[in-house]
Structures are given as structure tokens and as C-alpha cells.
A and B are shown apart, each in its own frame.
Chain A
Amino acid sequence: MRTLPCVVLCAIGVAALSCGPDPAIENQKRLAQLRSTYDGLHQRLEAATAKDPLVAAAFADKGSVVVAIRSSLIEELASNIAKRYLDDVTVNLRDVKAKSKGEVRRKTFLGRVKVGSWNVSVELGGMIGDLRAGTPRVSLRAPNMIDLQIPVDVLETTGEATLDFGWDSSGLANVVCKDFTLNRGIKGRVLPQKHTLKGAMRLENTGTSLTATPIFPDRKINLRLDLTEASWAVVEEALRSQNTAGTCGAFLKPDKVLEFLKGLAAKGVGVKLPRSIFRTVSLPARLSQEVTVNRRVLSLVVNGESLRIDGATLWSSASVRIQTAPAPPAQAGGSF
């Protein structure tokens, strides 16, 4: 009697097993379903990436490492480099000379004749230019340029200068007038003024680094100058001291010469900023020529492949290959 329930239970169990889903078949079904989902998702991914310009640009580069930098970061860096770099620049004006010359003609019974010529030279021996940059305007230009417009404020400075003035009589005047030269130490002023430096930085991919090399062909600024009141008085006195018989100061008319000199100073002196005012800088993304893998140092050969500005992104790529067989591994945590 006791065996009956047991037999019934076994029968139910066998029936349940034979009627229920086969786990192997269920697994296959599930796997097929997952594969189908995977294929569908993969097709969607490929379709989406094919349309994405960023992905298309990335795959256009053949290098084994591709670096993409958004233009906004490049612009921010270039702007800050220019501003910080030119934030406090001192230009020595020791070699700067302002020169001018002219002729004086007078009416005579022989007609209008040249009575002499003059020349003036101001050497800015002890003067300096103090430059401060404002916020630059930066824009990227394909294929590899960063255009810059840097506003530069020149601050007022004063310093020692030397004025040389010479008079050379001509023709008949030479008989009655002596030539003369004046040399006076004066105090000059660089007037506060604003300029704009226009140029660019050329981006280059050296393989291991991305560099920005400045190109500023026009580094000339017209520096407006003046003399202190006391120095103008010195110049005036010097010119008037020649306004005597025997010298030709009378021909010169000191008032007119002074006016001319003041005009000359206001017009400014062309000062070419040295090329070294701009330096090549490396962007902070580099490729290393050495890596550690498995506690072994591998030497690499890195060659720049490409560099281009494409839309709002700077793309650069490099090929990397292993140069040397690695040294034996250093002692790891485990024993070998």
C-alpha cells in the first residue's frame, strides 16, 4: 500500500519533466534572441556612426593613435598663452634711432636756392617700452593655423635719450655760415598708446608632440614719443644759440624746427619687436617614446602622420611601432 503514492509521485515527476520546456532548447532560443538583438543594435550603431562627422573624421586618420582636441580648448589655450606671455614685456629701446633730414631754401637774386641741409637724430639710449597684452581674438583656420589678434597696451615710460642736430651749409651760404652740430642729453617719454599685433600660430605634428609656432611677419609698431617740457626747453635753447651771425641759425628759424621736431615725435618711431618675442610652445598632449608593459620598458618609434583642423576639432595622428625588444621583466609580485 505504501508504494502507491511513491509510484504516483514518480509518474507525475516524469510527466512534468517530459512536458516542461527543454532547458537546452530554451537556451538556444534565448541565444538566438540575443543574437538578433545584437545584430539589430549593431546595424543601428553602424548607421549612426556612419552619419556622425566626428566618427567619420576619426576613421579618416590612419595612425595608430589619433588625438582630437576641440577648437574651444585650443582657442582658450592660445588666448591665455598670448595674454600671459605678453602680460609684462619690457623692450629695450637702446638701439632705436629716430632720424630725419631736410633742406632749407631761400629766395635770392639768383632765384630760390638751397642754403643748407639739416639732419636730426634721436637715440633712445636709456628708454624702455613696457608692453601689456589684452585679451586676444583667436580663431582656427584650416588646415593648421590659429589666427591671433593681440591688443597691446604700451605704458608710459620715461628715460634718457640723446639728440643730435647738424647743419650743413651749401653754396654761397657756405661762405658766410659755419656748419654746426648740436648734441644734447634729453629726457624722452614713451606715450601711452594701443596697438594690435596680427599674426598666427602654425600647428605642427612632430610625432611626439603638437607644437604651435608663431608667425608674426609684421612686428613693427609705431611708438609715439615726446620729450619732457624741460628737454624741449633744452632743444629750443640749443637751436637759438645758433641763431647768430656767423652761424646759419637764422636760416633755420628755431620755432619752425621745434615745431617740426614735435611733429616728428608725435608721428612716432617705428620699432620692430624682436622675433624672439613669440616662442614655439608644445600643446599638453604628447606621444611618449617609451611605455611600460608587463613591468618591461618598451622603446617606441613615433612618426607624425597627419594634422588638420576639421570643423571644430583639431585632429592629429601618429604611427607607433616598437623599436626594441623589451628588457627582461623586473621582479613582479609573484615568482616566475
Chain B
Amino acid sequence: MSQKEKHILLIGNPNCGKSTIFNNLTGLNQKITNLPGTTIEKKVGVFKIEDQTYRITDLPGAYSIYPNGEDEILAIDYLKNSILNHQVDLILYIADAANLQRNLLFFSQIADLKLPIILVLNMIDLATYKGIEIDIDKLSESLGVLVIALNSKKNTAKKELINKIHKEHQVFQSDFFKKDTISFQQHWNNNIEAIKENKEGVYKKIALETNERYLKIQNILTPIQSKNTQNAKFITHKLDKFLLHPIYGILSLFAVLFLIFQFIFKVAQIPADWIDYGFSNLIRFVSETLPIGKLNDLICDGVLAGVGGIVIFLPQIVLLFVFLTILEETGYMTRVSFMSDNLMKKFGLNGKSVIPLIGGMACAIPSIMAARNIENSKDRIITILVTPLMSCSARIPVYTLLAGLLVEKNDGIIDYRGLLMLVMYVLGFVASLLFGLLFKLILKQKEKSFFILEMPDYKLPQIKNVLRVIYSKSMDFVINAGKIILIVSILLWFLANHAPKNNFANIEKKYENYLGQDKNSLISSEKLESSYIGIMGRSIEPAIKPLGYDWKIGIALITSFAAREIFTGTLATIYRVQESDDDGNKKMLTILKEQKRADNGLPLYSVATIVSLLLFYAFAMQCFSTLAVTYRETKALKWPLIQFFYMTGFAYLASLIAYQLLS
């Protein structure tokens, strides 16, 4: 006989080990969704005990049922609706056994709602390490609810938990805090409304309640918890002494960043090359298999080339997320924020902005998503706005090509091209700080910036959790970013392969009797010129001429909006570089150097033009996917628009000044 599905809510403070318990209970049977209109993530999983199906929802970790300022209201509203509106059959409250006092505050608030509840003391073994002994039975007795202790290492924990979940559960009978006239639910509602309306004295009133709760918690804990710190092992403290040291701490921070960099740039290149190889073979195969025609072109040059263009970044993005997860899981992330906060706050950012900025050097898309960790809305918006200024990996091929034009390869000790790359990275970082400062001065302060950060004990990362993140983030990226990139690349393909009137037919007619070996490349380059995108390139020429570009570069600028690295490919098409050539890059450089200006016959790719192009690619917002993610994360059209115009405007200005000064 199958019974009605039962709902369980998983609740607890951040860092209490909630997700691990959730993963253990549900296995792969889970779904992560964003709450509509917000970036609040909820995870839902299903598991079965005997005949009974349980649906378990993991809510984001919180410290309290009261929001701190407007930024947290959405999250708390969500919590409130989940608890009050869904028929909850059981609340599993997870507490960090080593930090019971503070973890019980949120418990006391939830318990007062009078729903069936189990208190889980998680990581009890780690508490023992720190010399903390808890009398579980007595705690259960004095609270009047079931208390279970879980060992962080033992695998029997899951079975134990499941058995308990399947039994009947108690509702907390007494009160941590009581209003005589109204129910606690009503009281909670009233307080949230008061916070929303910014009512005078609301925080003071709640502060009194919080104090009262802690006094009760103290009374409960004193007889049942003992701390004997004599033999305790304070590994975290010892590690922090080194990792937060004024000299060693900063050195180790740079060492960690350096390592991440090496991985993202060097190691990720290997699978990226495989993907590249795989896709070019796939494209060749499809183009040879399908009958020649429009469909063939669309699938090969439009869809597959476009998809290949993003999938190639997947190794970098996945690696970035692996590192972010490991940093987060070990607890080092909070130390990075702690160490950099002082510098960042001067520029309108926050210690928690460091991670998006570092990630921005790989790809702005996941990094903007990582800015969710910043509670303060102003700090978060500024972080999102400036993150794309960091030099992302899509700029690398562009910089490489332009650097090759600017400086000859030399065998000296210093590779000047490498030096130029470094300059470009520094330029991006400095620009993001300066624009942070500018936005700090311009944007209205909704809430005062603050930094209140729990620094949890160091832990070894759980491989299962890391694997899960790899899976969910790559799917998220492929599906969400992929959709947009696919549409844009199809659009670009269409614009580059279609022309008004009979332009294309005329070109083919023109070369009908031409016998030269370069017939095909001549035709395709002339077709590109007369295509819609060629027309667009010509029409923006007046605007980009002061920067030193001609209409051909204009086409490359336009196509770059799908992804910056398309720049090199577009130039290759325009200048008829045979891509099959083994020495393609070298040949490309030679061809680019031969290009002359239409008006005065001087070399097109002069120092002035190249510097101007470098600056343009460093600062301009040329990534449609980033704009889409900014929109998704901010839920307001104005932020991607501001991002687009300030970046592109500044890029234009910087390139204009550079070109006019240098030419």
C-alpha cells in the first residue's frame, strides 16, 4: 500500500554540513532550482523508506528567521513560505555540534513554530576533537524533541537517520520566547513587516528577543555540555596562524592563486584541445555526409562551430568551479575574503568580491554567478558590473595575435609578448578597481556595507560534493549560456552568409571563368564583404575610423559580440588565410602586416592601431552571454545596459586617445 508523500525541510546555519546530509539521503535523486525571480537556490530530493516516499527540500543556510536589512528579505520570505505554506511533515534541523550555542539560536526560533522537528547534532566527532562533550539524552530530555548525533565520517549515519525519520516525531512543547496575545507565527510575520517598512526600533525589539533566547539556550546547555580544552586539537587555529600571517599568509594566498591560474590556463588546455579536435572532425564528418547546401552550411558553420566555440571553454569553467568548491569546502575561501576585504572595500567592493574577480580571469559568466555570496546588494552589483573588466580567457587569442604583430619573437631572456600579456591582465584588474570606486561614488547607498563573516574550521573537501558541483555547474553553463550563444551564432552565420539582392550570384558569376588556385577563398571573402554583416561593418566604419580601424576590422568587432575569440577567425576569413595551413598563425601575421590603409596606403596594422585594438578588447563589453547572465542575476534590464555602455564607452575613449596620440 503506498502512502501519501511526506515533506521534510532541511534547515540549519551555513557551514553546519547540511548539504552533505542532503546528498547522503537523496543520492542523485535531486534537483537544484532557482526560486523564480531570485538567485536563491533550493534543492529538492526524493527518497524512499519502505513504502513511504519522502520529498526533502534543502533550504539555503541561514542564521535567523529575521532578515538583516532588505537584502535578506527575499530569502527569509522564502523560508517563511516554505515553512508555513507547504504542509511540512517534519523539520530536520542540522546543528554543528562544535558550535552548539550559536546553532541553537535558529533552532529555538524554528522550534517555536511548533512543527514536528528533529535536532541533528552534526560532526559530533569534530566536537570531541575540540574537547566538547554533549549529553545527548539529557539534551533531548530538556528540549522535549528527538536529538540525534551524527559522526562526520561514519557511514552508518544515514541508516540511523533514516530509521529515526520514519518514526513519529515530537513537536517542541515549551517556548523559547512567547507572546501572550498572538501566536509566534503572527509575531514573526509582524516583525518581518516592520523590517520591510523600516519601522523605528524594530531591530532593538528583535535584539531583546534574541538576547532572551540566548539566555534560555545557556540555561539548557550549561548542565549538559562540558568543555575541556586541555587536550583539544586546535588544528584550525594553528593553520590560521600561518595562513593569516602578515607575510606567510599573503605569500600562501599568492601561491594558491598562482596554482589555480596554472591549472586554468595550462591543464585545461589539454582537454580543450581534445574538444577542439573532436569538433573539427565532427564538422568535417557532417559537412561531408550531408548534401551540400544551406542546411549543411547552417549546421556546420552556424550550429556546430558556435557550440564548439563554447564547449571549448568548458574545461576552464569546470576547473574554475572545482577550485572554487574546494576553496569553499575547505574553509579557505572565507580567509581569502578576510585578507582582501580591507583593500576591496576602498574600491566599493567587499572581501567576498575577490572570488568573482579571480574567476573573471577565466570567464565572467560563472564568476558573476559566484557573486551571489555577497549579501550587501550594492557591493554585489558593483562586483557584477566590474567583473567582466578582468581579462577573461576569450581575450587570450586576440591578445596573442595582436602581441605577435606588435613585437617580434625574440630569443632573449624576457619574452616581450608574455610581458605584454601580463600588462593586459594588470590593466583589467586596475580598471575593475577604478570603476568599482566610481560606482561606489555614483550608486545610491541602499544599505551600509558591512562585513560579518563566520570563519569555519578547516575541513577536507568531500570528493562527492566536488563531483556534484562539476556536474551541476557544467550543465547549468551548457544549457543556459549555450542557448544564447547558439542563437547568436546562428544569427551571425545568417548575416554572414546572406546578402541583399543578387550580390552573391553576381560574385560567383564574376569568378566563373577564373582559374587561379585561390578561387574559393576569393569568392568567400568577397561574399563576406557584400553580406549583411559586411554591410554592417561598412556602416560602422565612420564611428571606428578615429580609432584606426577600417570596415574589415569593423566586421571582426561585430562578430566578436558572440564571443571575443571569434575576432581571429573572422580576420582569417576576411583576409583569406588558408586555415589548413600548418603555419597558419605565422602566415596570418605576414598577411596582416601587408594590409594597407585604403586612403593613404600606410600600413593598417600600425603600432597605434594595434594598441588601440588591444585597449578596445581589454575594456569593451563584447560578450552577449555575460550581459545575459548579468540580467539573470540582477533581474533588472538597467544593469546589463549600464555594463554595456560604461565598458564599451570607456573602451572607445581609451582606444581613441591611444590612437590619436600614437599615430
**B and A form one assembly:** no
Q: State the B residues within 8 Å of A (CB).
A: none
